[in-house]
Structure 1
């Protein structure tokens, strides 16, 4: 960029003061400052747009490489799956025959869960639980909402 030092700025200011005059100099300086600011904003916008387009190109390249890698992985999984299916079919064909469906396997005996199966059993006595505030009864979701609803006085 242009190398302007303090001495050059003073020389430009003195020439402008002589040429333009002291009455019009503040207005001209304000106009020049405004135009310079607009030019700097325009240059910054152009730089940002160029950077965005470069990043977009890089992202497109990255997307293509990821898609190609995913395609390769998908193809390799498909080939290994087909090989697995073939091996599985061979193993099933060569395996010993399954027992006949008429063979009976004893069913496990049914055990009723009990009256209070949702509650955890413990060795603590009931009076201690009541005094310390341990829950002894299961509440449904609706009952819990009704009991702990804010703003409700008991």
Structure 2
């Protein structure tokens, strides 16, 4: 972490022995070890929190991307549905107009393409004459 070599550790130990003294050195070393352990745990917790936040941010970005894609697909589907409805509406209207054909009046006999009475109407005409 700090890139401290063996020779540097020896210098630190000798200075600590001279400054602190031989009676208090074990207690100070123990306390320093405990504090170093706490510091390492704290740094580990901070790293884990940062990693979680980064993953959460990535998930939020992914969610935004998916949401925009879903919105685009939804808009496309809605547009296509409107186009289909617009193309079908005239057909439905034309069919509705064809379905409302006025019924022929019963007073005039039906004729075929040549203008002659059809056989069914000819029988009806003879019955009407008698």
Q: Taking structure 1 as the reference length, what is the TM-score of the superposition?
A: 0.52
What residue in structure 2 maps to residue 72 of structure 1?
72
Computed over aligned residues only, the root mean square deviation of the Cα atoms, in angstroms, reads 2.4
Residue 38 of structure 2 aligns with which residue? 38
> How far apart are residue 58 of structure 1 and its match?
2.4
Q: Deviations over 1:63-98 (max 9, x none)?
A: 111111101100100111122233344455667x89
Question: How far apart in 2 are the matches of 1:85 and 1:2?
Answer: 71
- In structure 1, the residue matched to 2:122 is none
Alpha-carbon distance in 2 for matches of 1:15, 1:41? 27
Structure with larger Rg: 2
How far apart are residue 9 of structure 1 and its match? 0.8
1:30 positional shift: 0.8
Q: Which runs of 5+ in 2 are unaligned?
A: 100-130
Alignment of 1:83-102 (within 5 A): 83-91=83-91
Q: Distance in 1 between matches of 2:83 and 2:22?
A: 91
For each residue in 1:38-66, what CA deviation from the matched residue of structure 2 results, as whole angstroms up to 9, or x when unmatched? 11222222222223223322222221111
TM-score normalised by length of structure 2: 0.60
Task: Between the two structures, name the one with larger relative contact order (CA 8 Å, sep ≥ 6).
Answer: 1
- Aligned counterparts, 1:97-108, within 5 A: none
Q: How does 1:5-154 map to 2 (within 5 A)?
A: 5-91=5-91
Shift of 1:36: 0.8
Give the length in aligned residue pairs. 97
Structure 1 unaligned residues grouped into runs of 5+:
99-154
Equivalent residue, structure 2, for 1:150:
none
